[in-house]
Structure 1
């Protein structure tokens, strides 16, 4: 595959994975939690590096997942003790992110791990860091990791589709029929964490929020069925990745920034043109 082909494939995997996970963030009204986890996983990545002294491997995903779950636990703990949830999210993620930044500056300064890379990402470097996979040959490490994460996300959605659906819309009903609501919640936080860290090389910690939230928010305007919303959100994520790359090539600008900008364009079109919930449709109805 060509250099451009690997970039487009990697960006599409980011858009698809984030789009699917983002649906449940929107339905559970946890959009800000995506922002929190996308920043706090930096601490998990740094700690994993300090323990292993390796910048790639499964330990990075494990560290990120642990950091994401710790973030969710701390937010829930503060909220249960009277702190407003948005305030709890702001306090927890800024503190954990700051600790990660300090550790990078003081302990990992001589490694290829820096705050700018974690925040912004750089997808143009992805095709150069390769690994050998049986039957596939040399493929970029980031692309392989994202493909594995996508399989995990798809398997989790298919295996627990009924549980995700009930716990997203009515946690009280889910608990009454024996579904482990708390366990499903933290399993979901783990999915958000690994999806976030797997997307670091492509869009970074800040812009991954756009890929997690905006395609799903756009899909929410087009349909009231969760299954259709999942398909639309994944499609919007891939569309944003591909169109964003084309815009970046045309303007000679940041690919990750152009991808995030495109998600905004998709949302704007959805907000205006959705036949049921769009602004134009509401104006015509009234």
Structure 2
């Protein structure tokens, strides 16, 4: 494979690996924790290096995972005190741990490949040049670790899908059934930490956050069903990874930055144009509800005054302005719409109900 193809494959694998646990973070309203974990794993990496003095030591990986779980525990400890909210607790814990990691890098690891630029943005373009031999096949290290993490996340999802679903949507019921929501919660956070650590060196913390939050959040706007949400998150993550790579090549900019930008663009499009929850759809639905309500008021008004002998006054369009307190423009719009769908007809300057309009008004009264 060419380095260009390997970069895209690495990005796709990491995107899918991040999307799977990210769905449950978004559904649990815990997306901010992915931000915290993706930063605080750096402290675990630094501590692992300071203990082992070896960048290839497994202590770096173990330290990162443990620090991710510690981050979650500290956030819950602070927010559980009832003195601050969870978002404030995250804002207190993760800057402190991340800053401590940066200080340790500056003081004790300034000469090694652990700088803040690589931490935030990663080095995806150079990932194909860091290679290992796996069963006689020469592969990029990031591809191997990303694939292993993806496989682990898929296996965990298959094994604990029912438990994750119950603990996400109804923790109390899950506890009643003996599923131990707290264990499931910390298991999910451990999976998030593992995923963040596996993706950390290649793509940096910014893209980890983007891939773990944006595709699931976009999928959440497009569907209410969990299986579809998982599938859409994976597809959207892959689309963002590939399109971001080619955008970076076209503009000659950071690959990780371009991929993160594409996740935001895709989310923005869904936020605007999602069929049910998009901003445009909501505006259209509000307009339709307002129009429906106005048609009900108009037909009820005409129905209540037909045959009363005051039709020439009460059923005149100008009278609706004062009677229903509508603007002249809105009166013309509603009357025109009611005529178009056959609810009313004009008899000179007076409005009257059709048979269809009369049935519509009676159904509203009932």
Q: TM-score, normalised by structure 2?
A: 0.76
Structure-2 residue corresponding to 1:92:
93
| 1:27-52 C-alpha deviation (Å, 9 max, x unpaired) | 01001111111111110111111122
Which residue of structure 1 lines up, in the alignment, with residue 111 of structure 2? 110
What is the deviation of 1:57?
5.1
**In 1: Cα distance, 2:159 partner to 2:237 partner:** 22
Aligned to 2:216: 216
Between 1 and 2, higher relative CO (CA 8 Å, sep ≥ 6) is seen in 1
Task: Measure, in 2, the Cα distance between the counterparts of 1:58 and 1:223.
Answer: 40
Could you tell me which runs of 5 or more consecutive residues in structure 2 were left unpaired when the two chains were aligned.
287-366
Match status 1:263 vs 2:245: no
Match of residue 204 from structure 1 = 204
Given that residues 26 and 213 in structure 2 are in contact (C-alpha distance below 8 angstroms), is that contact kept between their aligned partners in structure 1?
A: yes
Taking the aligned partners of 1:144 and 1:78, their CA distance within structure 2 comes to: 37
How far did residue 207 of structure 1 move? 2.8
The 10-residue stretch of structure 1 (137-146 or 269-278) with the greater mean CA deviation from structure 2: 269-278
Whether the 8 Å contact between 1:14 and 1:202 is mirrored in structure 2 is no
Q: Give the structure 2 partner of residue 158 of structure 1.
A: 158
The 3 A distance-change label for structure 1 pair 161 and 39 is same
Query: Runs of 5+ in structure 1 lacking a partner?
Result: none
C-alpha distance in 2, partners of 1:57/1:262?
34
- Deviation track 1:43-78 (CA, whole Å, cap 9, x = no partner) reads 011111112222235433321110011001111111
1:10 and 1:57 mapped to 2: Cα distance?
A: 22
Q: Do the aligned residues in 1 keep the contact of 2:41 with 2:65 (CA within 8 Å)?
A: yes
CA drift at 1:280: 2.2
Q: Secondary structure at the match of 2:222?
A: coil
Alignment deviations for residues 118-167 of structure 1 (CA, whole Å, 9 cap, x no partner): 111010110101000115x1001111000000011111111000010011
Q: Across the two proteins, how many residue pairs are aligned to each other? A: 285
Does the aligned pair in 2 maintain the 1:7–1:127 contact within 8 Å?
yes
The residue aligned with 1:191 is 191
CA contact (8 A) 2:206 2:260 kept: no
Cα distance in 2 for residues equivalent to 1:56 and 1:9 = 23
> 2:225 aligns to what?
225
Partner of 1:177: 177
Q: CA RMSD in A?
A: 1.2
1:56 is paired with a residue whose SS is coil
Residue 248 (structure 2) aligns with? 248
Partner of 2:132: 131
Residues 49, 55 of structure 1: 8 Å contact kept: yes
Residue 360 of structure 2: aligned partner: none
